[in-house]
Chain A
Amino acid sequence: MKILVCISNVPDTTTKIKFTNNGTSFDKTDVQWIINPWDELALTRAMDIKDASGGAIESVTVINVGLADSEPTIRKALAIGADKGIRINAEPKDSYFVAAQLAEVLKKESFDIILCGIESSDFNSSCTGGMLSELLDVPSVSSVSFLNIENGQVKIKREIDGGNESVSTSVPFVGIVQKGIAIEPRIPSMRGIMSARTKPLQVFEPVQVDALVEYVNYELPQPKSACKKIEPENVKELVNLLHNEAKLI
């Protein structure tokens, strides 16, 4: 069996987000890039499954749609333990564009288990996994919080309201994973870091795909306004402010 983990290259989650060009583009100056946290957990689970599989899982590959500047992120995934990296040489435009590029490559390269994080921490569209399964015409399972291979069978648990749901599926399939899939991401070891430079990183040129969504404008959330303190006895003033200033009641 072969596992593929789709990874997004996203700004570190502590990045102070800034926009340029009148709020039409994201300011990448001094931004540190990381593997999308959900994808990193998916990769961690993939590695755990492979390590426990006794050779049944042949390889774990990571794939990314991005320009050359996303290669450090791919190599980080290789350092974590992935055996091979693939980069599709295009700036990701929207979820459909990414899914279509991935699907094109996956028509040539076959995998049994395809994992995506449920969303990316930058655009949070939560669409790519579903679109990819549709384009590949394979089953997809979303909100995967547990995944294992038992006797050659894929066992999945999904988090649903008030409990868990157990699912099994045929391969190939797309698993769209939630945070519970692994507890902590794996830290790349020195051996992993050293071996990352010798692992294959294949680059595919993109196909012509039109994005379905155009990002028109970005706005930062309004800064929180100052806290107003009212004496406990002054209920009238509280009601007045809730009515007229906060307009909550």
Chain B
Amino acid sequence: MENKKILKSGEFLVEETEAKNVFIPEEFNEEQKMIAQTCQDFLETEIYPKLDEIDTGKHEIMVAALKKAGELGLLGIAVPEEYNGFGQNFVTQMLAAETIGAGYSFSVAFMAHSGIGTLPIAYYGNDEQRKKYVSKLATGELIGAYCLTEPNAGSDANSGKTQAKLSEDGKHYIMNGQKMWITNAGFADLQTVFAKIDNDRCLSAFIVERNYPGVVINVDEKKMGIKGSSTAQIFYNDVKVPVENLVGARGEGFRVALTILHMGRIKLGANVLGAAKKAINDSVRYANERKQFGVLISTFGAIKHKLAEQVIKTFAIESAVYRVSSDIDDLIEQNKKSGMDKGRVSIEAISHYAVEAAILKVYSSEVLDFVVDEAVQIYGGMGYSAEMTVEKGYRDSRINRIFEGTNEINRLLVSDTAMKKAMKGEFDLFGIAEKLSANLSNIAEKKNSNENYYAEKKRYIRNFKKVALLAINAATKKFDKKLISEQEVLNNISDIMMEIYIGESTLLRVEKLETLKGNEGVKIYKDMLDVLVFDSAEKVRKSAVDAFSAIEDNVDKLINAVNDLTDVLSVNIKNARRRVADKLIEDNKYKF
């Protein structure tokens, strides 16, 4: 991937990427596959036999599972080697996150510990803090939690009321306040707590040990799903936090919180991917066993449709997950060369991709909800039985649209962040959008007589990008600074952007895959791409029409342009879906 231009976040709207410059999951190396297999073996031996026991919420079961994961080194995959970790690159971290993502409640405890519970200190802590805490978090000797949300500060995290006042002797911060929805609260030894020092405008981050006097942990919440994961409120009553436990600089906590959330969002994309594959495997196995009317239900077109849709959407998010993961690795390498602080190179690179992080968070969590819903449906009445893992998967999925920033916040972030970055001059968006909007009559790129399969699909994606740009231009012209209050329109633009990024990532993956598997081997992947792009065109069109109807200016011309731009050649998507489903049914598991 030499001479690859590293794009700014959101720049995919105005730039094309070559297939050779994206990383695809088919390129995992032997070591990465072995790490994934270890995660899988761990789930199969330590977690799957105990799923019901874990969901009773007894802390000792989850703690034992986390310690076991620690023994295998799985808690230290992202931690640098000097702190007992394995310093793996971001793609490998994501692959592990994907595999563990199929672990139901365990996956949430694992990610809370090894991600948001460990990495704020690993990335922003000083060397002493890292040695004292991170080296023990990496092995599972200590379990971590991340305490940001408060009763009145959820999506608006910086409005938190938890206070930290410097003691008279200057040795401690006296912390008072309350946190809620804290994952791993019931058993975490260590908390990264966000609080404001005196009357600071911004949060600061602190390391708080569980056994500091004044730390009171409530009983676990009773939840819809992920019942085995401990979630509780924590109260801080005059807790003396040593001054050396301030993480990063005073007032830097909000930045820490935001960057860690970007990371959490991207990793959630991987987690969700693993959960989706598990639900697909359950679905197809059942469809291949259950008979009605004397035949297996997997022979029915209606079931094949469901199975194929599960696969296509999952394959699409998988393509985007590893595309952005590898882009992050490239940026980390570049940051290292620029001499950036060693602890911060990773988090800076991860938070660079804020737009893509939000896309993965929203799109993937919604895909998982679709996949688990159809899994229950394929099981029929059995799917409603609490004895089936698809029932658990259905309930556990729902939280993904809520935590790590609600999908409402993240959906807005997709378009808003891209526009803000463009406004800051990181890349030209508005200039291109304005130019494009000036000539609507011949805006759609038409079929080229000798265009091949990929050229055709790329033309569609380019046209979808034009739709996004038209919408951005019209919306900013109409609402200017008030656009942020027009959340519905911003959401329309975000929806278009998500279709573009996910579609483009899938297209580039299939194109690259052809170089590995050849024309014949890639046919089934082209079927998936056909269905995806065909459906995307309709979604892009609908979102754009909604946006332009709300903007009201020049509506007819813009909608005509959108119709041209989303005009894709028809393919027999029923047959394409059937072929995808048939491969799944034949393999009896997700093997794409």
Contacts and interface: CB of A to CB of B under 8 A. Distances in A.
Decide if A and B are genuine partners. Answer: yes
Interface of A: 14, 16, 30, 72, 75-76, 79, 184, 187-191, 193-194, 196-197, 226
B71 interface: yes
A187 B76 contact: no
B31 A188 contact: no
A19 to B, nearest CB: 15
B45 interface: yes
25 contacts: A16-B588, A72-B33, A72-B34, A75-B30, A76-B34, A76-B37, A187-B38, A187-B42, A187-B72, A188-B37, A188-B38, A189-B72, A189-B73, A190-B38, A190-B72, A190-B73, A190-B74, A190-B86, A193-B34, A193-B35, A194-B86, A196-B31, A196-B34, A197-B31, A226-B294
A190 B587 contact: no
B34 A75 contact: yes
Contact of B71 (A14, A72, A189): A189
Nearest to A187: B41
A75 B35 CA distance: 12
B368 interface: no
Contacts of A187: 38, 41-42, 45, 72
Contacts of A72: 30, 33-34
A114 B71 CA distance: 29
Given A16-B587, A187-B42, A190-B86, 12 more contacts: A16-B586, A30-B591, A75-B30, A76-B34, A187-B38, A187-B72, A188-B34, A189-B72, A189-B73, A191-B86, A193-B38, A196-B31
Interface residues of B, number: 23
A232 B45 CA distance: 43
Contacts of A14: 589
A184 B586 CA distance: 29
B24 interface: no
Contacts of B42: 187
B532 interface: no
Interface of B: 30-31, 33-35, 37-38, 41-42, 45, 71-74, 76-77, 86, 294, 586-589, 591
Q: Which 4 A-B pairs have the closest CB atoms?
A: A190-B73, A187-B41, A189-B72, A190-B86
Contacts of B30: 72, 75
Contacts of B589: 14
Contacts of B31: 193-194, 196-197
Contacts of B41: 187
B79 to A, nearest CB: 10
A200 B45 CA distance: 30
Contacts of B76: 190
Interface centre among B38, B71, B588 (most CB of A within 10 A): B38
A196 B76 CA distance: 18
A196 B35 CA distance: 12
Contacts of A194: 31, 86
A193 B36 CA distance: 11
Contacts of B586: 16
B37 to A, nearest CB: 8
A79 B34 contact: yes
A190 B74 CA distance: 7
B499 to A, nearest CB: 30
B35 A190 contact: yes
A118 to B, nearest CB: 22
Contacts of A196: 31, 34
A196 B38 CA distance: 14
Nearest to A34: B37
Contacts of A190: 35, 38, 72-74, 76-77, 86
Nearest to B138: A190
Contact of B73 (A184, A191, A197, A226): A191
A34 B137 CA distance: 32
Contacts of B74: 190
A14 to B, nearest CB: 8
Given A72-B30, A75-B30, A189 B38 contact: yes
